[in-house]
């Protein structure tokens, strides 16, 4: 396959950036987009050109590091699929693919396709945890949890924190991310002591960097884990209950 790549290049967070065009003439349909960048970077290094900076780790759709905008779509054309699992068989021979960092005010560019997702980390630090006693690990079956609740909590916990929901949302809202994290812990006994404080603090932290949700639904399509928008409704209920509890 002959693929033309238009890649965003930006040297520093404060410098001006722009798209640079490259050609990869020996791509194959089995290549992922990250493997295509690997192939291009090998050519750039051979020609003593600075390689393209992009983020990745597991390349198995688990870590959430790899996300970029592919032709303006978070992660790429295959729905609910991270960038590392997007393959060139989704494109035609001779295609031009534009790669850009996930765009949102909360995601400043570090270099090229790499962005700073620490705004998501600040939401987790605000309350995405549970308090547990120190000492030996408790017996796994000592706290009975209904299977339905456990299954729903596991579905919500599938969020990998890639931030694609924010990039896909016209309001740059992080409500799908926040909803998944709050709803996951609200369903479990271990999450009850901080339940109301968690909802208040995480929602407040999200409001500092991200926009409001208007139920467009683009976040659901971009989410690699296929998180349901039900978690946004669950988040709204949790925040409402938490506001009542302070009166």
Q: What is the arithmetic mean of pLDDT over 138-158?
A: 87
Structural domain range at position 233 = 118-245
Does residue 131 sit in the same domain as residue 93? no
Percentage of residues in the chain with pLDDT exceeding 90? 87
Where residue 79 sits, what CATH number does that domain have? 3.10.20.30
Q: Please tell me the total count of domains within the chain.
A: 2
Q: How confident is the model at residue 137 (pLDDT cuts 50, 70, 90)?
A: confident
Of the pLDDT bands very low, low, confident and very high (cuts 50, 70, 90), residue 246 is low
Regarding predicted confidence, which is higher, 244 or 207?
Answer: 207
Query: Which CATH number fits the domain that encloses residue 239?
Result: 1.10.1060.10
Confidence of residue 202 (pLDDT cuts 50, 70, 90): very high
Check if the beta carbon of residue 183 is closer than 8 Å to that of residue 238: yes
Domain boundary among 87, 111, 135: 111
Q: Is 103 exposed, middle or buried (0-12, 13-18, 19+ CB in 10 A)?
A: middle
Shared domain for 156 and 204, answered yes or no, is yes
Averaged pLDDT, 91-103: 96
pLDDT bracket for residue 136 (50, 70, 90): confident
Do 125 and 241 share a domain, yes or no? yes
Asked which of 60, 76, 111 is the last residue of a domain, the reply is 111
> Would you say residue 133 has pLDDT above 90?
no
Query: How confident is the model over 128-145, as a mean pLDDT?
Result: 79
Quote the pLDDT of residue 140: 67
Residues 161, 135 share a domain: yes
| Closest among 122, 103, 51, 58 to 85, alpha carbons compared | 58
Report the alpha-carbon distance of residue 233 to residue 241 in Å, rounded: 12
| Alpha-carbon torsion (56, 57, 62, 64), positive or negative | negative
pLDDT, tens digit (0-9, with 9 covering 90-100), for 11-29 = 999 999 999 999 999 999 9
For the stretch 81-94, pLDDT in tens is 999 999 999 999 99
Distance CA 231, CA 242 (A): 16
Pair 175, 206 in one domain? yes
Mean per-residue pLDDT over the chain, rounded = 93
Closest CA to 102 of 4, 190, 188, 224: 224
- Same domain flag for 76 and 43: yes
């Amino acid at each position: 396959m002959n693929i033309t790549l238009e890649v965003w290049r930006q040297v520093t967070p404060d410098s001006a950036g722009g798209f640079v065009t490259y050609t990869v003439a020996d791509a194959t349909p089995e290549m992922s987009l990250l493997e295509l960048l690997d192939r291009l970077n090998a050519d750039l290094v051979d020609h003593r050109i600075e390689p393209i900076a992009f983020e990745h780790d597991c390349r198995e759709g688990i870590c959430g590091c790899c996300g970029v905008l592919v032709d303006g779509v978070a992660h790429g054309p295959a729905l609910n699929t991270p960038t590392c699992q997007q393959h060139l068989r989704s494109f035609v021979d001779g295609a031009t693919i534009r790669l850009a960092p996930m765009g949102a005010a909360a995601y400043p560019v570090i270099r090229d396709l790499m962005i700073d997702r620490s705004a998501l980390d600040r939401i987790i630090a605000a309350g995405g945890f549970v308090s547990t006693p120190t000492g030996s690990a408790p017996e796994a079956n000592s706290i009975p949890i209904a299977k339905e609740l456990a299954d729903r909590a596991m579905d919500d916990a599938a969020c990998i924190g890639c931030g694609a929901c924010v990039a896909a949302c016209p309001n740059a809202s992080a409500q799908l991310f926040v909803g998944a994290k709050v709803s996951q812990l609200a369903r479990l006994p271990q999450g009850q002591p901080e339940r109301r404080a968690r909802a208040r603090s995480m929602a407040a932290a999200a409001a500092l960097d991200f926009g409001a949700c208007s139920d467009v639904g683009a976040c659901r399509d971009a989410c690699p884990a296929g998180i349901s928008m039900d978690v946004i409704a669950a988040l709204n209920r949790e925040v409402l209950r938490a506001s009542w509890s302070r009166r």
